[in-house]
Amino acid sequence: MPARGGQAQHLHAPVAGGDVIESARIALTYVKSHAPALDIEEHAPAGRELHVYVPAGATPTDGPSAGITMVTAIASRLSGRPVTSTIGMTGEVTLQGRVLPIGGVKQKVLAAHAAGLSEVILPERNEPDLDDVPSEVRDHMRFHIVETVDQVLALALEPAAVAKAA
Note if 164 is an active site residue: no
Strand partners, 119: 87, 142
Note if 65 is an active site residue: yes
Strand partners, 120: 88, 143
Catalytic residue among 23, 32, 65, 79: 65
Where on the phi/psi map is residue 119: left (φ > 0), alpha (ψ -120 to 50), or beta?
beta
Separation CA 6–CA 47 (nearest Å): 4
- Side by side, the strands of the sheet bearing 119-123 are 87-89, 119-123, 142-146
Q: Is the Cβ–Cβ distance between 29 and 74 less than 8 Å?
A: no
Separation CA 116–CA 39 (nearest Å): 30
Catalytic residue among 108, 118, 135, 164: 108
Which residues are catalytically annotated? Answer: 65, 108
